[in-house]
Amino acid sequence: MVYFQRCSWYDNSNEKLEFLEEADMIEVLFGESEAASMKVAKSTVIVSHVNGPTSVWMAGKKTPPEKAFTGWVEGTAEEVVCLGFMLDIGNIKEPVDSQYRKSLIYSMYAQNQYGKSPEIDEELKLTGEVYANELMRLRKYLEDGETIRVWYSDAPYSICGFYSLCRILLNYKNEVHIVKLPEYVVRKTSIISYRNWGEVSAEEYAGFLSHERVLTKEEVRMYALLWAELIEDNSPLRAVINGKVTGVQEDFYDFLIWKRLTCKPIKEARLIGDILGCFQIGMGDWWFARRIEHFIQQDKIKVMEDCENKYARVICIADTLSGR
């Protein structure tokens, strides 16, 4: 589905002319990787006006392709807003732009910064501030009456971000479009399943615009209410259970660690990779790294070969738990 906006201009005789053009939208996403892909998808340039404009990928291409290429999202990278607040974890009674949330985001990104320079560490410390500025930028777009398009999925971080955004949208009358990541897509003879928008490559985004629809005011109120209920609950984690976002305790995903970890030594990175590969739960590697470190401190997981790079450590179940 393609949306158009009515535009007008005046010719040399000062006569008003009107025409329709495809409306650019402010894209809102909830993860760094997916926002980066969207910025590539919206990096376009007009190279021809034969049968309409031709969009050309600008990521390194010096010349346009021989055939008209229409597989990109109209607009520019500046129209992409990333609200990567990780609202599926931590205290959500604190504002999303609070120092608490900024520190939490840093702790997740920085827990395995082996070999990284102080400059990179300082950059990571500013990540929460970057997202806070992105939120301010979005509010400015809303105040200017811009139409926004929200890309979300059932991954906990994404749907929590979407619910939180709906609470903000209660204060605005802007038209809001949504594109929810489908459970799977059929490509010729293959069926492809995605866990979140971060797994979708830049050139694929335009193909999902067929799933775009307008978000009604009633839906905005409903999702905002659901977020208010989650704030009141304020559990340490939020998970999607049977299609519903539910507050859960910190140990909710721990069973996945114990299902894969045995007495046989294994690299921590391999263990986390196995968990993420086998269970499509929408949690990042940083959460499992954090829980593994927690169990190491409790002597429930044993470090067989230590390493400054924590992901390179070789670990196994501690002797006291080997019979579990």
Judge contact between 75 and 149, C-beta under 8 A: no
> CA 114, CA 62: separation in Å to the nearest integer?
37
CA dihedral for 10, 12, 14, 15, sign (positive or negative) = negative
Q: Which residue has the higher pLDDT, 19 or 16?
A: 16
Token pair of 280 as six digits: 């499509």
288: containing domain: 254-321
Residue 172 within any structural domain of the chain: yes
Q: Which of 200, 231, 262 is the last residue of a domain?
A: 231
Residue 46: inside a domain: yes
Query: For the whole model, what pTM was predicted?
Result: 0.81
- The Cα diameter of the chain in Å comes to 89
What is the b/e burial string over 142-178, where b = at least 16 CB atoms within 10 angstroms of the residue's CB? beeebbbbbbbbbbbbbbbbbbbbbbbbeebeeebbb
Residue 119 CB-half CA count within 13 A: 0
| 239 in a structural domain | no
d(CA 185, CA 192): 5
Query: Is there a single domain that holds both residue 134 and residue 177?
Result: yes
Task: State the amino acid at position 225 in one-letter form.
Answer: L
What helix, strand, coil percent values describe the chain, rounded to 5? Answer: 40, 20, 40
Do 209 and 260 reside in the same domain of the chain? no
Could you tell me where the DSSP H helices lie in the chain? 32-41, 99-110, 118-125, 127-143, 156-169, 217-233, 254-260, 268-278, 285-297
In the chain, how many domains are there? 2
Q: In terms of domains, do 202 and 124 share one?
A: yes
- Do 222 and 266 reside in the same domain of the chain? no
Indicate whether 217 and 273 sit together in one domain.
no
**pLDDT tens figures, 236-259:** 999 999 999 999 999 999 999 999
Q: What is the pLDDT of residues 249-308, one digit of tens each?
A: 999 999 999 999 999 999 999 999 999 888 878 888 889 999 999 999 999 999 999 988
Read off the CATH number of the domain in which 266 is found: 1.10.10.10
